[in-house]
Structure formats: C-alpha cells, structure tokens
C-alpha cells in the first residue's frame, strides 16, 4: 500500500513537470506578444498557474480530507522550497550571479512577498497564543492578508507598466515571431487545468501517506507535499532560465509566495467551516514562516547590492545561504513536527 501511494505521488509529480514546461513557454510567449514584461507576466500569469497546486491541495485538504494542518503546511513549505529554488537556479546559471541579471521590479515583488509571509506568520503566532477570535467564521488576519495581496498585484502592475513605458529595453519581437498569442493563451489554459487537477490528487495521496507512515500532517505538508506542489515552480523556473529569462523565473518564485500567503490561505480559511483556520494548525509553521522571511530578505539584499561576484566557480553567498536555510528548516520541521 505504501509503495503504491509513493508511486501515485511520483506519477502525479511527473504530470505536473510536463505541464509546467508548456506553462513557461506559453507565459513567455504571452509576455512577448502583449508587451506587458516578463516580471509582470511572471507574477500574475506564471506564478498564479504554478501556485494552482497549492490552491487545489489546500482546498482539497480542508474540504475532502479535513486536514487544515496539511493545507497550511503545504503553503508555508512551498514558500521555503520556492526560495531554495532561487539558490539552485543561481548554481545552474552560468552567466554570473543569477540575481545580477534580474530587473529592478523584482525588488518590489520581493518586498511585497516578505510583507505577506511575515503577516501570515504573525497570524499563526497570534492565533496559537490566544483563542479570543477562534470562533469567528474568518480571521481578520486572513482578510487583511487578502487585501494586501490585491494591493500588491496593483502595485506590481503599475510598476511593470512604468518599466515598459519608461526607459526599459525594447521587447525582443523576434523571439516568437511565428507564434500565435491565441495559441499561447490556449496552451496556458490547458496546462493550468492539468496542474490543478493533479493537485487535487496530490492532496488525497499526501494525506493517505501521512496516515500510513504515521507522520504528522504538518510534517507531510511542509516537506513532502510542499515539494510535490512546488514542482511547477521548479520546472517552469528552470525552463525560463533556459529561455534566457531570469526575470520570469525569479518573479515566478517570489510571486508564487505572494499567491500562497494572500490568495490560497485566505480561501483555505473561508473553506474551513469549523472556525478560524489558524487555530487548528501546528505552531511549527511559525518557525517555517520566520525562516521564509529571512530567506526572502537575503534575496532582496542581493538584489539591492548587485552587481556582486560569485564566491567561487559555482556559488554566490545568497545562493549558498538559501539552500542551507532550506535544509536547516527541513531538519527542524522533521524533528519538531
């Protein structure tokens, strides 16, 4: 039974990986054809699509298997994994430090992502310390996080328009000269549907695995399920780097964290009918949230202090720190959950 569950998890992950390749290509084509810019497309279209597994898994964990800890652990764990991917991309990128090649809009996206992750972490801490508003149908923290998320999308849109209409580089109109915008939108839509359908199956499989292995839902959500649902970010980010689009890759990862904290957790709280979502979760998520804040700060500092050299042939200081912090978080969650 356990082997069968692991095989199901692997097969679903493989489907997500294949669909993610088409997501990256179609998103980059839409960016080129519309002139909206890779950062805006990376945050709004690509990050939304690659975060659909967290969205589908979160709602499925609550509505189908009644496991709120699994849903929140998946969202917070995905934040950690997404930031660690930036470290892996830095190792893979051969044209100097990766963040040297990313536009200034990424600083804004990173700052907004840090704010939402920090606020969600505070929500978990406050609700874990008091039961004052535990009986409310919706936490005021969830409502504020959703409000901040909408505001962040507006700010990113206007900053992206300013970059395009200002003195930014002209779009490379020859990259997809033979491609159709309509076909790219269709590929994006189909790939997104495949990804979110796979996410529903991931939630059910993850919960059954947690039961069979005797693991806590917070551990399963933060490590194993978060890894599976972050596979689209991993695949699309590496695909974007291969397309020589580091802006698209980094904005996708930071934007996914925005989506996880603002949109996914808000809807998870709405779907959780037994009170406030935050009161039914493990306090280990406060730890993972704090580490995600630190990792995001490292990315922002690296963006603000560029250009800077590598430490050696492969690593930069920020890349090594991001990978090391993810490993540290994984070990702590495994011991504490």
How do the pLDDT tens digits run along the chain, 337 residues long?
788 888 887 888 788 778 877 877 787 788 777 777 667 777 777 787 778 778 887 888 888 878 888 888 888 988 999 999 999 999 989 888 999 988 888 899 999 999 999 999 999 999 888 777 767 778 889 999 999 999 998 888 787 667 656 544 444 445 666 678 888 889 888 988 887 777 667 667 766 776 777 666 556 656 666 777 777 788 888 888 888 888 888 988 999 999 999 999 999 999 988 878 888 788 889 999 999 999 999 999 999 998 877 877 778 999 999 999 999 998 888 777 6
Q: What is the DSSP letter of 280?
A: G
Q: What integer pLDDT is reported at residue 179 of this predicted model?
A: 74
Can you tell me whether residue 20 is helix, strand or coil?
A: helix
Residue 68: HSE in the Cβ half-sphere, 13 Å Cα cutoff: 20
Owner of token pair 């959500």: 221
**CA distance from start to end of the chain:** 24
> Which residues have C-beta within 8 Å of that of residue 14, sequence separation ≥ 6?
none
Q: What integer pLDDT is reported at residue 90 of this predicted model?
A: 92
**CB 93 within 8 Å of CB 99:** no
Cis amide linkage into residue 307, ω under 30° from 0: yes
**CB 233 within 8 Å of CB 256:** yes
> Which residues have C-beta within 8 Å of that of residue 177, sequence separation ≥ 6?
none
Q: What integer pLDDT is reported at residue 295 of this predicted model?
A: 97
Rg of the chain in Å (alpha carbons):
19
Q: What integer pLDDT is reported at residue 221 of this predicted model?
A: 53
Q: What integer pLDDT is reported at residue 337 of this predicted model?
A: 61
Q: What integer pLDDT is reported at residue 25 of this predicted model?
A: 77
- CA pair distance 319, 96, nearest whole angstrom: 12
Q: What integer pLDDT is reported at residue 130 of this predicted model?
A: 76
Give CA separation, 298 vs 58, 171, 290, 292, 330, in Å.
28, 30, 13, 10, 18
**Mutual orientation of helices 105-129 and 246-259 as an angle, nearest 10°?**
20
∠ at Cα 247 (94, 313), nearest 5°?
20
**CB 248 within 8 Å of CB 38:** yes
Q: What integer pLDDT is reported at residue 171 of this predicted model?
A: 47
Handedness of CA 197, 223, 292, 302 (dihedral sign): negative
Q: What integer pLDDT is reported at residue 223 of this predicted model?
A: 64
User: Cα 104 to chain center, whole Å?
Assistant: 20
Owner of token pair 């980094």: 250
Nearest to 291 by CA among 144, 159, 118, 94: 118
Q: What integer pLDDT is reported at residue 170 of this predicted model?
A: 46
- CA pair distance 334, 284, nearest whole angstrom: 10
CATH number of the domain located at residue range(s) 2-336 in this protein: 1.20.1420.30
Can you tell me whether residue 35 is helix, strand or coil?
A: coil
Domain chopping of the chain, boundaries: 2-336
């Amino acid at each position: 039974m356990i082997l069968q569950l692991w095989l199901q998890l692997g097969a679903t992950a493989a489907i997500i990986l294949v669909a993610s390749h088409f997501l990256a290509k179609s998103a980059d084509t839409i960016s080129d054809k519309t002139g909206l810019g890779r950062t805006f497309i990376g945050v709004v279209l690509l990050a939304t699509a690659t975060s659909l597994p967290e969205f589908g898994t979160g709602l499925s964990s609550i509505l189908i298997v009644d496991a709120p800890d699994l849903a929140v652990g998946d969202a917070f764990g995905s934040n950690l994994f997404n930031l660690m991917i930036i470290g892996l991309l830095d190792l893979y990128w051969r044209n100097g430090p990766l963040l040297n090649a990313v536009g200034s809009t990424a600083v804004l996206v990173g700052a907004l992502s840090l704010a939402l992750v920090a606020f969600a972490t505070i929500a978990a801490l406050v609700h874990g310390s008091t039961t004052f508003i535990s009986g409310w149908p919706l936490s005021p923290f969830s409502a504020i996080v959703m409000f901040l998320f909408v505001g962040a999308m507006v700010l990113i849109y206007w900053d992206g328009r300013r970059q395009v209409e200002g003195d930014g580089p002209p779009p490379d109109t020859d990259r997809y000269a033979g491609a159709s915008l309509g076909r790219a939108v269709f590929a994006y839509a189909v790939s997104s549907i495949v990804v979110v359908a796979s996410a529903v199956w991931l939630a059910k499989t993850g919960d059954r695995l947690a039961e069979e292995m005797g693991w806590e839902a917070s551990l399963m959500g933060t490590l194993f399920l978060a890894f599976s649902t972050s596979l689209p970010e991993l695949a699309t980010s590496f695909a974007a780097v291969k397309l020589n689009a580091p802006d698209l890759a980094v904005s996708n990862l930071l934007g996914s964290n925005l989506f996880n904290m603002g949109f996914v957790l808000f809807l998870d709280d709405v779907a959780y009918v037994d009170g406030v979502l935050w009161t039914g979760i493990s306090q280990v998520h406060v730890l993972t949230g704090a580490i995600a804040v630190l990792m995001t700060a490292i990315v922002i500092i690296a963006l603000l202090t560029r250009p800077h050299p590598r430490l050696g042939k492969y690593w930069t200081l920020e890349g090594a720190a991001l990978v090391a912090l993810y490993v540290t978080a994984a070990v702590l969650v495994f011991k504490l959950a």
